[in-house]
Structure 1
Amino acid sequence: MSDFPSQQQDKFVLRLPDGMRDRIKSVADKNGRSMNAEIIRVLDATFPILPKEIEEALGMLGNATIAMGEQHANYDQDQVRAIIRESCETILDWANPKDTD
């Protein structure tokens, strides 16, 4: 058993194109981070953990979009439009927080 939590974390072997390791090292050094920390920073920015309400809004938006595309008689188009509008507002509010100062 390890005394270091990092040894228990997921590991992933990655092949880098020629020169990329040096570029990552250079940026990491400039930012005062390890190469691992710099790669994690970039991955976190690219693949953020979305709040549950945003995941739900995206799911509702996807379902409503499918319903609009099908234009099935069982779907109330005004209700579907309202769901789309509400879902988009939730996502935009999250993406563009208003200052509370």
Structure 2
Amino acid sequence: MSKPNRIVVENVIRPGKTTSVNADMYAAMKIALLAVIPSQAPGLTLADIRERIFAHLPEQRFPGGKGVSWWSKTVQLDLEAKGEIVREKTRPIRLHRG
């Protein structure tokens, strides 16, 4: 059995730390996140984002929402590290595209 495609992700909170994750799951979550995260400040809260991404996730990859919390946080931190999304210095945290 062949291994799934992998992609290396970064973590904005731990610079220099990388992890290898399933590329197909990453891509599905990235598409969903970028579909709901606004292009300009003030952006959306993490709770608003997680609520809205379900409509953009393929059920076959995330059956019944399984793994959504972990994948959304992993992809969020990677996209922040790469500058594709920006975290506002607010409470609660708000994100928008970079």
Structure-2-length-normalised TM-score? 0.25
* Larger fraction in helix: 1
Relative to its length, the structure with more strand (as a share) is 2
TM-score, normalised via structure 1 length: 0.25
Using CA pairs below 8 Å that are at least 6 residues apart, which structure has the higher relative contact order?
2
